[in-house]
Structure 1
Amino acid sequence: MTALALLTFGEDGVATGHRLVDPDSPALAITELAATRGDGIFETVGLVGGRTLKLDRHLARFSSSARMLDLPAQDLAVWRAALRDVAASLDPGRASYVKLVLSRGVEGSGIPTGWAFGTAHESYDDVHRDGVRVTLLDRGYPHDVAQTSPWLLQGAKTLSYAVNRAAYREAARRDADDVIFTTSDGYLLEGPTSTIILRSGRTLRTSRTDLGILAGTTQAELFDWAATQGYTCTYDLLTPGDLADAQAAWLVSSVRLCAPVRSVDGAAKTVDADLTAAFNAHLRSLAG
């Protein structure tokens, strides 16, 4: 089952409402810049029992990405309503997600295009139990690229995902399931669709967000929870050596939730089953 809402926009480029449409019917013009240029932003919001996970964090990041791309600031109440109508159209008995997309629109129109698309996704129970095999790939930028070259839009959640998809294909060629990007000067960044967390004793670490990476909504929620459980949570310049030395590692995201890393470039890594279960139980408890 899928569901789709199309947003309507005023002349100022701000969404004013939405309507549910047939998700199997044509909805976009062939000159839509989302398709021809990847010129837009998105957020993917996980659903548990038909209820959203961390919606406020996603909408805040949605607004941040819009600012970075010089897209019109949006009325988030309109987007929230579209998401909830789409979510209500899905089967609450299946794990699902809703993707919010804001594009610059049809080329030459000056009016954005936006939609909310919802669908069920596969079960990740096996991944939560067994973990993922990771390979390290050089993203090709130094760690300060966000400061030296802001026009590269590092840290915005854009529709331009060709590099991320290529990274997954390279991972498959290396007999791996997922990727952690590194900088050209030797620091850990993020996965193509996830944020990294490392554990050393009672300390949890993740990469600093000023490295041109997305501020992870799932990672931030886990850090908030972990702090109440007595963990120290830090944002650091992390290296592959830190990953090798960590007692456990995870890739976390809104749909797959918390996936433990079981190997890095073929070197086995211990899966912390207890903390993985606690992480995922906490995330599922947030649905509302």
Structure 2
Amino acid sequence: MTWRFCLMIEPAASDAVLSDFADTFTVVDPAAPALSVGELSTQRGDGIFESIGVIDGHAQEVTAHLERLVHSARLCDLPEPNVAQWRQAVARAAAQCGRGESVIKLILSRGVEHGPTPTAWVTAATAPDNTRVRVEGVRVVTLDRGFDSAAPERAPWLLMGAKTLSYAVNMAAIREAKRRDADDAVFVSSDGIVLEGPTSSVILRHGDRFTTPAPGAGILHGTTQLSVFAFLGQQGLRAEYEAVLAPNLVMADAAWLVSSVRLAVPIVSVDGAGIPLDADLTARLNAYLLSPRD
């Protein structure tokens, strides 16, 4: 990944009304030191983030990502982001991205320990080449996430619905999948409900009906999943939220992991059992996801 741009942000109050937030931005060398050793994002993973796909300099699904950033901030008791300020920061970063695919990351940390304000920054980098997995698909294994589907409501301090910087478990799940000779994982609750991938949402097809696990129960509402459902609706297909039982994964006529950078990646096996690969629909999904969307 080649880093192209880094913009430090002096967070503005959520109700600050400005037409131009340029004075709150500082461009820094992405290869230079920029964070204090007391920064809680690095010490404790105490913060939130978003990853926004960029196609030929156009940032995708910006509104949905900013809405989720605000939602995560509320769950984590962080100051509410000023959406207009962050939107201008995204535009500045996108302008530094050339042709092809890039990724913009938004980070909001609790800041320096005992410090007065949060720390915020935006980066832009070249995205990995995901062409092969979009065509060939991935093998996944199901992994128990270690809690039942009612746990997030019973224990909101687990922050299951927030996109936090604490991604050690997610990365450990992907490493475990590779140890099991797979490419990725799908989390399942201890009572057998499908949740999501470590870095993706899950979508299943049964005939002409498409489903994704209902938001809640610790499932992050996927911005790319929303775009896929919008596309399916335009095609006159049913796309619905529902609780998905783990055995339904291998019974699907097709399935995908979807995310902002990899886009729509077909699942070709679950725990060693094969799933049909719908190459035509996958290609149409990715053509749509690669088109400009706000």
For this structure pair, what is the TM-score category when the shorter chain's length is used for normalisation? over 0.9
TM norm structure 2: 0.94
1:122-141 equivalences in 2 (<5 Å): 122-141=128-147
Q: Report the CA distance between 1:223 and its aligned residue.
A: 0.7
Q: CA 1:262 to 1:28, structure 2 compared with 1: closer, same or farther past 3 Å? A: same
Give 1:219's aligned amino acid: Q
1:197-208 equivalences in 2 (<5 Å): 197-208=203-214
User: Residue in 1 aligned with 2:153?
Assistant: 147
Q: Is 2:6–2:29's contact at 8 Å kept on the other side of the alignment?
A: yes
Q: CA 1:231 to 1:103, structure 2 compared with 1: closer, same or farther past 3 Å? A: same
User: Residue in 2 aligned with 1:168?
Assistant: 174
Q: Report the CA distance between 1:73 and its aligned residue.
A: 1.0
Q: Report the CA distance between 1:11 and its aligned residue.
A: 8.4
Q: Report the CA distance between 1:21 and its aligned residue.
A: 1.1
Q: CA 1:131 to 1:61, structure 2 compared with 1: closer, same or farther past 3 Å? A: same
Structure 2 residue aligned with 1:39, among 46, 58, 70? 46
How many angstroms apart in 1 are the aligned matches of 2:53 and 2:253? 28
Q: CA 1:205 to 1:259, structure 2 compared with 1: closer, same or farther past 3 Å? A: same
- Whether 1:118 and 2:124 are equivalent positions in the alignment is yes
TM norm structure 1: 0.96
Give 2:84's aligned amino acid: A
Structure 1 residue aligned with 2:56, among 24, 49, 52? 49
In structure 1, runs of 5+ residues without a counterpart are none
- Whether 1:228 and 2:234 are equivalent positions in the alignment is yes
Structure 1 residue aligned with 2:94, among 67, 84, 87? 87
1:15-34 equivalences in 2 (<5 Å): 17-34=24-41
RMSD: 1.6
How many angstroms apart in 1 are the aligned matches of 2:289 and 2:219? 22
How many angstroms apart in 2 are the aligned matches of 1:246 and 1:11? 46
1:249-260 equivalences in 2 (<5 Å): 249-260=255-266
User: Residue in 1 aligned with 2:84?
Assistant: 77
Q: Is 2:11–2:82's contact at 8 Å kept on the other side of the alignment?
A: no
1:203-222 equivalences in 2 (<5 Å): 203-222=209-228
Give 1:197's aligned amino acid: I
Q: CA 1:240 to 1:20, structure 2 compared with 1: closer, same or farther past 3 Å? A: same
How many angstroms apart in 2 are the aligned matches of 1:121 and 1:11? 31
Q: Is 2:13–2:80's contact at 8 Å kept on the other side of the alignment?
A: no
SS at match of 2:216: helix
Q: Is 2:14–2:82's contact at 8 Å kept on the other side of the alignment?
A: no
In structure 2, runs of 5+ residues without a counterpart are none
Q: CA 1:117 to 1:147, structure 2 compared with 1: closer, same or farther past 3 Å? A: same
Q: Is 1:6–1:115's contact at 8 Å kept on the other side of the alignment?
A: yes
SS at match of 1:243: helix
How many angstroms apart in 1 are the aligned matches of 2:58 and 2:202? 25
How many angstroms apart in 2 are the aligned matches of 1:10 and 1:96? 26
Percent identity, aligned pairs only, is 46
- Whether 1:182 and 2:184 are equivalent positions in the alignment is no
Q: Report the CA distance between 1:94 and its aligned residue.
A: 2.7
Runs of 4+ displaced beyond 4 Å: 10-16
Q: Is 1:252–1:259's contact at 8 Å kept on the other side of the alignment?
A: yes
User: Residue in 1 aligned with 2:66?
Assistant: 59
How many angstroms apart in 2 are the aligned matches of 1:10 and 1:125? 39
Residue-pair matches, total: 287
